[in-house]
A and B are shown apart, each in its own frame.
Chain A
Amino acid sequence: MAVKTLKINDIYVAVEEGLTILKAAQEAGIYIPTLCHLEGVSDIGACRMCMVEVEGINKLLPACVTEVAEEMVVRTNTAKLKEYRRMNMELLFAEGNHVCSVCVVNGNCELQNLAVEVGMEHCRFSYRFPDKPVDISHPQFGIDHNRCILCTRCVRVCDEVEGAHVWDIAHRGEECKIISGLNQPWGEVDACTSCGKCVNACPTGSIFHKSTPVAVMKRDRGSLEFLSTAREKKQWTR
C-alpha cells in the first residue's frame, strides 16, 4: 500500500494514497470545518466550508474531495480561509430563510453551530427572502425548503445507504431545489421507505419529524454512523 507524506499546518502527516486531505487531517487530529460531508456516504464538495490552501496552487481546494499528494503543503486555518468561510456562511444564510429562533432544530443545528464557530455575527449580504415551499405531505416527515442549504446529504444517504434514491436535485442557480420522486409531493413517492435516514442526515432544520415544535428536535446521527460502520467494518453493534 503506497503512502503519501504531506504537511498540514506544518505537521508532517503520512497517509494512504487515495485519501482526501480531509481524511488525512482527521487522522492527524487536525480540524477542518465541514457541512455537506457525512461519514458513510460519498463527498461532493457542495458547501465549500472545508476549503484549504495548497502551496503551489493558486486557488482554494475543497479538502473533502481533493486527494493527498506527495510533499503537498496544506494550510487549513489561514486568515484568508477564515474570512472566506465566514463569507461563505453568510451567503448560505442570505440565500435561504434561516430563522433560528423559530426553527425546529434551534440549539441543535450544524449550520447554526458552524455559523457561530466561523464568527458570523451578522450577515453582510442582503437577505434574498426567497419564496420557498414547505412539503409535509409525508405522514411522518416534512421538508422545509426555506432551511435547505443544498448540501445533498439527503440525496446521498437515500441513494447510497438506503438504496431508495427518493431525493434528487432539480433546476439550476437560484431555482435549484431538492425534489422527491419526479418532483412529486413527498407523501406520493412510492420509493420512500420512510426509513428516516434523510431526517438524521440533514444538517439544518430542513428535513424534520412532523409534529416537532420549535427548538425541541434532535437527530440520531449515531444511527447513520452505525450503518456505515456495519457496512464497512462488519461491526453490528452500536
Chain B
Amino acid sequence: MSDKILIEPVSRIGGHGKISIYLDDRGEVENAHFHVSEYRGFEKFCEGRPMWEMAGITARICGICPVSHLIASSKTVEKIQAVTIPPAAKKLRRLINAAQIVQSHSLAFFHLCSPDFLLGWDYDPEKRNIFGLMEAEPELARGGIRLRQFGQKIIEFLGDRKIHSRGIVPGGMEFPLTEEMRTWIRDRLPESFTTIKKNLDIFKEVLDKYPEETNVFGNFPSLFMGLVDDDGAWEHYEGKIRVTDSDGNIVADNLSEDNYQDFIGEAVEKGTYLKFPYYKPWGYPEGNYRVGPLARLNICSRMNATEADRELLEYRDRAGRVATSSFYFNYARLIEILASLEKIEQLLDDPEITSTRIRATAGINQLEGMGVSEAPRGTLFHHYKVDENGLIQKVNLIIATGQNNISMNKTVAQIAKHYIHGKQIPEDILNRVEAGIRSFDPCLGCTTHAVGQMPLHIELVGFDGQILDEVWRN
C-alpha cells in the first residue's frame, strides 16, 4: 500500500464521516473504508434517568427522524410497563410514522441525493445541492420541499413540533387529531401523490441513464432485514422481523425484538465509532445484512397499498426479485413514500383516528424491555433495563444506519475500485464514492450538512507518510 486518499467530511449526509481510499504501488485501489468520526455517548449518559424521559432524550439522537426514536423508546417503556396502548393511539402512531417516512425520504431524495444524478456527478460542486437544484429544476425542487413539508406538518399536528415532537409518549399519544387537521391533510394529499408519481417517472429515466452506477453502487449479495406484517407484507410500525438472502429465500422469519441479541451481534473495528452489527447465526462479517427501504422492499411479499404495489412490480421487473444494488435505495425510497401516502389516506378515513382516548398508564411491571420500529433508514432497536422504580440502569440502541455499516464499507470499496485508477482522481469520481454512501442516507449523528460548499479534503499520502498531493474543494 503506498497511497491513501482521504475524503473528509463526507457531505450531504446526516452527521460526520470520512472515507479513506488506499492505493497500492500501481495506483490501483487496494481497499477503502468509511469512518464515523463522531461520538455521542447516549447509551451511557441515559443511565440514571427516569425511563419516561427516554423517548424525549433519545429523540435528540436525530433531528431528521426523531419520531422513530420516540416510537421505539415508547414501545420499549410500554414493554416494561406491560401495557397495551389504546387502538386510536396505535393508529395515530402509524399516521405519524408514515408522515415521517414521507418527510425523511423526501429529504434524502430531493435535498441530499438527487443533486448528484439530476444535476450530474460532475456538476459544479458549489451548486450540486438543493439550492442548485432549485435553480436548475425549480418545479422539481419545489415539489420535493413541499412533499417534505407535508410530512413535517402531520408530525407537527400530532406532536406540537416538527422536530423532536412531544406527541409520542409511553402509553400512547399526547395530542389527538382534530377535524381541522384531518381536513388539512386530506386537502394536501392529491398534490403529494402527483409529486411522488412524477418523480418516480423521473427516477426511472435516471436508472436508464446510469446503468454503470446502478451496477457498481454497492451491488453485492447480502442479507436483508426488516419488519413484515402477519402476511409478510410491508410494515413500518409493528410486526415480526424477517431476514432474507440475496436470492429471496427467507433465512429467518417471525423473529421478535425480545430476542434480538440471539440474532444480532455487534462487532467493533478500529478507526470508527460506528459498530458493525451482523446476523449472528452467520457470523462476522459473513452475516452482513442491509436494512432500510431497499431491504424492506426485498423482504416483503407486497406493499399492501394499491399504487405502491403496482410500482413494486415494475421495480422488481427492473431490479429483479431482490435488488442487490444500493443505487436502488433511492427508487425504493420513492415507492415507500407512495405507500406511506396511501397509508395516510387510509388512516384518515378511519373514524377512530380522531378519538381522544389515546393514552394508557401503568407502573413498572418488568425490569427489562425491547422495542422495535422501522425508521426511514431501517430497523431500530431500543433495549432498556430499569430498577424497580423505573430508573434506567442499562441502554442498548441498535440504530438503522449502523446495521448498514458493513455494506457502506463494501460500497465505498466497490465504487473506488471500479472508478479510481492511478493517482489522478477527478472530482466527479470522488463524488461518486460519496454518493455511494449517500444512497444509504446514513444518519451518522443528528444533523445534515446539506447546504453551502462541500469542504472536501483529499490527501494522497505516500508510503513514507509524505503528502504527495492535496486537493481542497472550496
Which chain A residues have a beta carbon within 8 Å of chain B's beta carbons? 101-102, 104, 133-134, 136-137, 139, 142, 144, 187, 210-216
In the complex, the chain A residue whose C-beta lies closest to that of B81 is A211
Provide the bound-state CA to CA distance between A101 and B446, in Å. 15
Provide the bound-state CA to CA distance between A142 and B171, in Å. 19
B389 touches which of A102, A137, A213 (Cβ 8 Å): A137
Which chain B residues have a beta carbon within 8 Å of chain A's beta carbons? 48-50, 52-53, 55-57, 59-60, 164, 166, 169-171, 174, 361, 363, 389-391
Judge whether B390 and A210 touch: CB under 8 Å.
yes
Kindly provide the distance from the CB of B369 to the nearest chain A CB, expressed in whole angstroms: 15
Judge whether B166 and A215 touch: CB under 8 Å.
yes
* 21 residue pairs bridging A and B, Cβ less than 8 Å apart: A101-B60, A101-B164, A102-B57, A102-B60, A104-B53, A134-B391, A136-B389, A136-B390, A136-B391, A137-B389, A142-B50, A144-B50, A210-B390, A212-B52, A213-B170, A213-B174, A214-B53, A214-B59, A214-B166, A215-B166, A216-B169
Kindly provide the distance from the CB of B201 to the nearest chain A CB, expressed in whole angstroms: 41
A213 touches which of B60, B166, B390 (Cβ 8 Å): B166
Residues of B within 8 A of A102 (CB): 53, 56-57, 60
Interface of B is mostly: loop
Provide the bound-state CA to CA distance between A216 and B169, in Å. 9
Kindly provide the distance from the CB of B172 to the nearest chain A CB, expressed in whole angstroms: 11
Kindly provide the distance from the CB of A216 to the nearest chain B CB, expressed in whole angstroms: 5
In the complex, the chain B residue whose C-beta lies closest to that of A213 is B169
Provide the bound-state CA to CA distance between A139 and B55, in Å. 21
Judge whether A215 and B170 touch: CB under 8 Å.
no
Judge whether B50 and A214 touch: CB under 8 Å.
no
Residues of B within 8 A of A144 (CB): 50
Judge whether B55 and A134 touch: CB under 8 Å.
no
Judge whether B391 and A210 touch: CB under 8 Å.
no
The 6 closest A-B CB pairs, nearest first, are A214-B56, A213-B169, A215-B166, A136-B389, A102-B57, A211-B52
Provide the bound-state CA to CA distance between A74 and B428, in Å. 70
Residues of A within 8 A of B390 (CB): 136, 210
Judge whether B391 and A211 touch: CB under 8 Å.
no
B53 touches which of A133, A139, A187, A213 (Cβ 8 Å): A213
Other A-B pairs, 14, CB within 8 Å; known A134-B49, A142-B50: A101-B60, A101-B164, A102-B56, A104-B53, A134-B48, A139-B363, A210-B52, A211-B361, A213-B55, A213-B56, A213-B169, A214-B55, A214-B57, A214-B166
Judge whether B166 and A210 touch: CB under 8 Å.
no
Residues of B within 8 A of A104 (CB): 53
Provide the bound-state CA to CA distance between A104 and B52, in Å. 10
Residues of A within 8 A of B56 (CB): 102, 213-215
In the complex, the chain B residue whose C-beta lies closest to that of A107 is B166
Residues of B within 8 A of A216 (CB): 166, 169, 174
Kindly provide the distance from the CB of B164 to the nearest chain A CB, expressed in whole angstroms: 7
Residues of A within 8 A of B169 (CB): 213, 216
Kindly provide the distance from the CB of A59 to the nearest chain B CB, expressed in whole angstroms: 41
Judge whether B48 and A133 touch: CB under 8 Å.
yes
Judge whether A210 and B50 touch: CB under 8 Å.
yes
Judge whether B164 and A134 touch: CB under 8 Å.
no
Provide the bound-state CA to CA distance between A134 and B57, in Å. 16
